[in-house]
């Protein structure tokens, strides 16, 4: 456990003082595991929306591009940016503008296909809606999608 391995659970083999210490130890390790999971979740999510954050996106996107090149398949990235957000933000105030932008991004990202994709908060009013592995070149898209073809 001192080396960071929290997969440890001691078997409860006796009662008394040793049994009590074993129970306390197992409880402590379980709380440490829960805390580590929560820290890992917080490090890759946006606090307002619960969407993955830019850090997670960059890691996932790098992996998808490597996989796409290795398998010689295409993948695509759809990015959404809210137009005239500054005007909206100035009219309603930054707290409301930020909250509304993130809620809109969260809704857009929630409509994505579930397998192999991620919706991410990229910036203040920018969202990466999805990353599609093995996208067909003929697939129609709205706006100007970025496509990553094998090199």
> What is the arithmetic mean of pLDDT over 23-31?
91
Q: Give the count of alpha carbons within 13 A of 91, CB side only.
A: 6
Please confirm, yes or no, whether 125 is among the known catalytic residues: yes
| pLDDT tier at 37, thresholds 50, 70, 90 | very high
Q: Give the count of alpha carbons within 13 A of 111, CB side only.
A: 6
Q: Give the count of alpha carbons within 13 A of 68, CB side only.
A: 22
pLDDT of residue 144 exceeding 80, the answer is no
Q: Which CATH architecture has domain 54-148?
A: 2-Layer Sandwich (3.30)
Residue recorded with tokens 């290795």: 70
Q: Which of 23, 72, 125, 138 is catalytic?
A: 125
Q: What is the 3-state secondary structure (H, E, C) of 3-37?
A: CCCCCCCCCCCCCHHHHHHHHHHHHHHHHHHHHHH
State pTM to two decimals: 0.61
């Amino acid at each position: 456990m001192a080396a960071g391995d929290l997969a440890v659970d001691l078997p409860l083999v006796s009662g008394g003082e040793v049994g009590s210490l074993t129970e306390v130890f197992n409880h402590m390790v379980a709380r440490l595991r829960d805390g580590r999971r929560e820290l890992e979740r917080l490090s890759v999510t946006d606090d307002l929306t619960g969407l993955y954050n830019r850090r997670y996106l960059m890691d996932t996107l790098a992996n998808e591009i490597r996989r796409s090149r290795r398998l010689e398949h295409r993948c695509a990235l759809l990015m959404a940016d809210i137009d005239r957000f500054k005007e909206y933000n100035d009219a309603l105030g930054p707290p409301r503008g930020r909250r509304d932008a993130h809620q809109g991004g969260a809704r857009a990202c929630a409509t994505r296909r579930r397998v192999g994709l991620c919706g991410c908060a990229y910036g203040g009013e920018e969202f990466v809606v999805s990353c599609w592995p093995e996208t067909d070149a003929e697939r129609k898209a709205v706006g100007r999608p970025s496509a990553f073809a094998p090199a």
